[in-house]
Amino acid sequence: MAKELKFEEQMKKLEAIVDVLESGQIPLEESLKKYEEGVGLLRSCRKRLDETKRKVEILVKKGGKLTLEPFEG
């Protein structure tokens, strides 16, 4: 089983894919593979951000009661 990349590593890899795709210097087949890889990374990053946001919302306390509040970052 492959080790899952950290969020920051995924973002760097995604940025590198975008740079390659924007350069227009790779064949169509390779571009499609890179695009698919990028979409997978994007979904993974978005999932992690959503999970983190939910954790932050749960941890916010007001007046001794646990309340959900949107994360403002």
| Across 9-15, average pLDDT | 97
Tell me if 1 is assigned to some domain: no
- The label of the residue with tokens 């946001």 reads 53
Tell me if 53 is assigned to some domain: yes
- Count of domains for the chain: 1
How many other CB atoms are there within 10 angstroms of residue 71's CB atom?
A: 13
Write the pLDDT tens digit of every residue in 31-69: 999 999 999 999 999 999 999 888 877 777 666 676 666
| Adjacent-strand bridge partners of 62 | 65
Tell me if 22 is assigned to some domain: yes
Distance CA 51, CA 34 (A): 26
Structural domain including 61 reads 7-66
The pLDDT, as a whole number, for residue 4 is: 78
The pLDDT, as a whole number, for residue 53 is: 85
The pLDDT, as a whole number, for residue 39 is: 97
Give the residue, 5 or 17, on which the prediction is more confident.
17
CATH code of the domain covering residue 37: 1.10.287
The pLDDT, as a whole number, for residue 72 is: 66
